[in-house]
Amino acid sequence: MPLSIQRRHTRQIHVGLIPVGGHAPVTVQSMTNTQTQDVPATVSQIHRLQSAGCEIVRVAVPDLEAAQAIAEIKRHISIPVIADIHFDHQLAIASANAGADGLRINPGNIGSTRKVRAVVETAKACNIPIRIGVNGGSLEKDILQKHHGVNAEAMVESALRNIDRLADMDFHDIKVSIKASDVGRTVQAYRLLSARSDVPLHIGVTEAGSLYSGIVKSSLGIGMLLAEGIGDTLRVSLTRDPVEEIRVGYEILRALDIRRRGPEIISCPTCGRCQIPLFDIVEKVEAALMTCTLDIKIAIMGCIVNGPGEAREAEIGIAGGDGLGILFKKGKVVKKISQEHLVDGLLEELNRIEKGPLWQKQKKTQ
């Protein structure tokens, strides 16, 4: 039975043409790990991210060359770009003037009120939003002293202070992230903030780690918040190719029945009856379907005897035996395929389905 999630209502902003907050879908973001000033490399990575489903991308802006590169990057991509700024308010101004669709700053480390105001006035003139990015490593000294270090209450106080700071400058086109590297503090901070403000929230667990620890932390932290209706846009932070972040983000949304993009692959954990290289087969199918947007359930099973029955709810699937496999639909065997052609047989059938009228109609509505 699907979860019944009541999303918290937030004010809506736009990052480029992408709505964030209000009743807009939860968007999936990532960040490039190229040198931003290397325009060909950055554009190439953004194209890969976009193909995987990335809807908003962030780029690091460590210097003026990187800020100015945004103008050229924008000419070659079609998703919004957010400039990630630390410390130097002039880089935020340069990025906005170069065409960035949004700014990510921590007002606490940008400096004086004069500098923050200069960034805000530029954002107003360029009609772009600002993300207030709060994390435990950059809290204001007085807040750290008051709360005796970094905790959820300290992070929330910093966020509210900076929300008010921008509101005093008559700037309200903002969203907020309030991330920590541990799940408990992150979830507690977002819960507290969501109860005290209607700003749209960008959620995630920062510095979550490599593949396994990163997926576990992100799935727990982001998943708990989304299940409580908290979160308008998300990023999964992994020490990996950022394309992997997009895959995990959509799998979290799918698991909670919030959004569905691309095929859902179900596969057995294998046992002593498995006589095919199932791990390799699953990886090949996943790689081949990375950019596929069909909402279809695919089963990849290791046992001809039990596989089709166990995966009866899948629209299509394959199961292998000793040198021979089968293609099945809704638990019914369609045809037998030699083991070495199992993946090709599945992909060919999926290609036929994708070109059919039912799936073309689905594609137009996505």
Pick from 212, 210, 209, 193: nearest CA to 201: 193
Given a cut of 80, whether residue 309 has pLDDT beyond it is no
Judged on CB neighbours under 10 Å (0-12, 13-18, 19+), 15 is: buried
Amino acid at 115: K
**343-355, pLDDT tens digit by residue?**
999 999 888 887 7
Given a cut of 60, whether residue 138 has pLDDT beyond it is yes
Average pLDDT of the chain is 90
**CB-based contacts of 66: which residues, under 8 Å, 6+ apart?**
35, 36, 37, 59, 60, 91
Band (pLDDT 50/70/90 cuts) for residue 207 is confident
**Which one is predicted more confidently, 323 or 319?**
319
Q: Are 120 and 169 in contact (CB under 8 A)?
A: yes
Band (pLDDT 50/70/90 cuts) for residue 314 is confident
- Strand partners of residue 201: 176
Given a cut of 80, whether residue 274 has pLDDT beyond it is no
CA angle 252, 209, 174 (to 5 degrees): 60
Band (pLDDT 50/70/90 cuts) for residue 208 is low
Lookup: tokens for 99: 């065409």
Given a cut of 60, whether residue 363 has pLDDT beyond it is no
Instruction: Give residue 162's pLDDT.
Output: 92
- Cα(39)–Cα(108) distance, rounded to whole angstroms? 30
Instruction: Give residue 86's pLDDT.
Output: 87
Q: Which DSSP helix (H) or strand (E) runs through 335?
A: strand 332-338
**Which one is predicted more confidently, 339 or 94?**
94
CA dihedral 259, 225, 50, 32 (to 10 degrees): -170
**104-127, pLDDT tens digit by residue?**
998 778 878 899 999 999 999 999
**224-242, pLDDT tens digit by residue?**
999 999 999 999 999 989 9
Given a cut of 90, whether residue 26 has pLDDT beyond it is yes
Pick from 73, 76, 117, 60: nearest CA to 93: 117
CA angle 256, 262, 267 (to 5 degrees): 75
Mean pLDDT of the region 75-82: 97
**Which one is predicted more confidently, 293 or 170?**
170
Question: How many Cβ atoms sit within 10 Å of the Cβ of residue 164?
Answer: 11
Distance from chain centroid for Cα 77: 18
Percentage with pLDDT > 70 across the chain: 96
Q: What angle separates helix 113-126 from helix 152-167, to the nearest 10 degrees? A: 60
Given a cut of 70, whether residue 365 has pLDDT beyond it is no
Given a cut of 60, whether residue 358 has pLDDT beyond it is no
Q: Are 165 and 116 in contact (CB under 8 A)?
A: yes
**49-65, pLDDT tens digit by residue?**
999 999 999 999 999 99
Given a cut of 50, whether residue 1 has pLDDT beyond it is no
